[in-house]
Chain A
Amino acid sequence: MVRNPAHDARNAAILRAIALGLWALVLLRSCVDGRLDLLLRRSFHPLVALSGVVLLLLALLQARWAFGSAAEAPSGRPPQTRPPKTGPPKTGPLAAAPRATASQDELPARSRRLNPAERRDGWTALATALLAALLLALPPNPSFADLAAQRPPDEGSAGELSFVLPPAQRSLTDWVRLLRSQPDPALFDGDPVRISGFVLPMPNQPPQLARLLVRCCLADATPVGLPVRWPAGRPAPEADQWLAIEGRMALEPGPSGASLVVVPSTVRSIARPRYPLEP
């Protein structure tokens, strides 16, 4: 049976439109369902949204042309969108847009079948559509504690310090940066603390309260943490659990001198915050 090249071309265009539409959906939905907050630094979010819009436009145009072509060529006659031009048959996935757009009626019957490049394009569109569907169906659910256990702690410079903030308004990251820039812990002994973070198990130490710093995406996340003197007589908190702690900074003697530790007065279990990653 001779294949109808017009239908094949239309089907390929529909498949491309579906694939592009699904990728657009992945990006746009990620912007609204909070997925991006879990994966990317916030400065990248507008770029992702813009890309989603562009992909959606591409998908709509592809679909319009695909169905427009079908309407113009209902009897299987291929659409002639361009005057005949010459050029070699393209064979690769990135081959230029088909330049051999001479009417298929002019071509011998043996060429009225999908060439390898068109076949590969069809499979590429199908594979990417399936991958996009997979991304849509399976939202990310990372374990921050597991990720942090794989990474060395952040040793970056102090960055923007919140010296002007009252101690109780400093975030966990502010505290870590402040303590790194001011190595004398006695300066902060007794300061009130109100921080939140996830529980990060530590080798040979009690778990810390931690946050992940992200420059780009989760792949480059590095942890920062504060040691906590957990209430005695209670089970240690579970890894990955999000907690809000209120208390005070206290000096604790150690093998390499005194260091600061958070002494909680209240420990509350909280849901993962909307923006769990810090810049």
Chain B
Amino acid sequence: MLAALPIPSALALPLALALPLAIAPPLAQALPQALALPLAQELPLAQELPLALIVPAELNATRLATGWAIFQGLLIEALPFLLLGVVIAAAARWLAPDGRWLRRLPSGPLLGPLSGAALGFALPACECGNVPVARRLLAGGAPLGAALGFLFAAPVLNPIVLASTAAAFPDKLWLLLCRPLGAVVVAVGLALLLALLPERELLQSDLLEERWLRQPLAAVSLLERRSGLVGAMPEPALPPATLVRPSLEELLRHTSREFLSLALMLVLGCLVATLVQLWVPRSWLLAVGGAPTLSILALMLLALVVSVCSSVDAFLALSFAAQVTPGALLAFLLLGPVIDLKLLGLLSLLFRPRGLLLTTGGAALLVLLIGQWINLWQL
């Protein structure tokens, strides 16, 4: 069945990355006694140094087995949220197949992102669940600013995340105010920044085609829509496009395909996050906790690496809040929901590489500025 199908290059990397982890657990079960632990016990320094520093990481089967577990933890925790997002996107497609209400969202440079951000209150999910919903907004023809505002702000502006932040930091009123405000600022800033790129340079081609179908001919030409008498449609002329409600079969088929595609990208993101976690001790990133600027940069890096869900990142931040500057703490809570290693794969299904780079760079710059401002104010 699949003999005639060429392996797409997009799958080569995840499969290549998966291979070492695939062989790790059996190695880990067989080798610790033969390699890692006896070595640690025989060396006189065994009592003084952690195992991680004694055995080279490349040879440490125990480390690989731990990595396999971290990978599974990240993936299994994120999958339900991804599924929730896909189901919500499917429901939106079912309820509003022509996306008319999406196109009625405000399109102003400020009002657009703000209205998108406000939609976050309707979706109590972390950033993984937001990607398929944001994709549906874009595909349905919603104004770019509104969709981007939702994508970047909704992981923070939702009841669960706000409640978990309040539970973790009940005595830090400034943080409870600055986190949602900062998320809105970052979302508006990124939406304005990404709007500088033409849509065809920002969004992936398949998403763009679907999006243009929902836009009026005054805005998108027939050639761009690849429909009507002009364009790439090779088939015989068919009835004019009518965006009708899909059948249940079509809807579930589409939902399944979307879930599997996103899951594959999620796997890739979790693999990268795991590998970086294994090879970069977290203490290195926290070592500069007291330096105003360095601490912000370090915590931003930590947010990228840890890739923890936005609904619980406040509790993680609690474990090192006393070691870092206030600006760094806020930077950790602002950057993670917008971009992290786990999310990169998912976002690559929305944005072209240039858009992805702009998102990462823009988010980092905005969060750094906010963090610096907080440090000036709080320190």
Contact = CB atoms under 8 A, between A and B. Distances in A.
Tell me, yes or no, whether A binds B. Answer: yes
B22 A138 contact: yes
B308 A220 contact: yes
Nearest to A19: B260
B295 interface: no
Nearest to B237: A86
A91 B209 contact: yes
A142 B70 contact: yes
A210 to B, nearest CB: 12
A143 B283 CA distance: 18
B79 A92 contact: no
Contact of B247 (A81, A139, A156): A81
Nearest to B61: A143
A119 B6 contact: yes
- Interface footprint category on A: 35 or more
Interface residues of B, number: 114
B11 interface: yes
Nearest to A47: B80
A253 to B, nearest CB: 21
A94 B319 contact: no
Contacts of B37: 238-239
Contact of B76 (A154, A156, A206, A217): A217
A150 B52 contact: yes
Contact of A236 (B47, B93, B319): B47
Contacts of A100: 235, 238
Contact of B238 (A16, A102, A131, A142): A102
B201 interface: no
Given A39-B72, A44-B77, A219-B277, A62 B252 contact: yes
Which 8 pairs show the lowest CB-CB distances between chains A and B? A92-B206, A97-B254, A142-B69, A140-B69, A217-B73, A149-B50, A218-B73, A215-B315
24 contacts: A16-B253, A16-B260, A39-B72, A62-B256, A85-B238, A85-B239, A88-B232, A89-B232, A90-B206, A90-B209, A92-B209, A93-B261, A94-B257, A95-B206, A100-B235, A114-B4, A125-B260, A139-B25, A140-B69, A149-B52, A150-B277, A216-B313, A218-B72, A222-B316
Interface of A: 3, 8, 11, 13, 15-16, 19-20, 23, 26-27, 30, 35-36, 38-41, 44, 47-48, 50-51, 54-55, 58, 61-62, 65, 81-82, 84-98, 100-102, 106-108, 111, 114, 117, 119-128, 131, 134-135, 138-143, 145-147, 149-152, 154-157, 201-207, 213, 215-220, 222, 236, 238-239
Given A108-B236, A135-B72, A216-B316, 12 more contacts: A86-B241, A92-B205, A100-B238, A123-B7, A123-B11, A127-B264, A150-B278, A215-B312, A216-B77, A217-B308, A219-B307, A220-B312
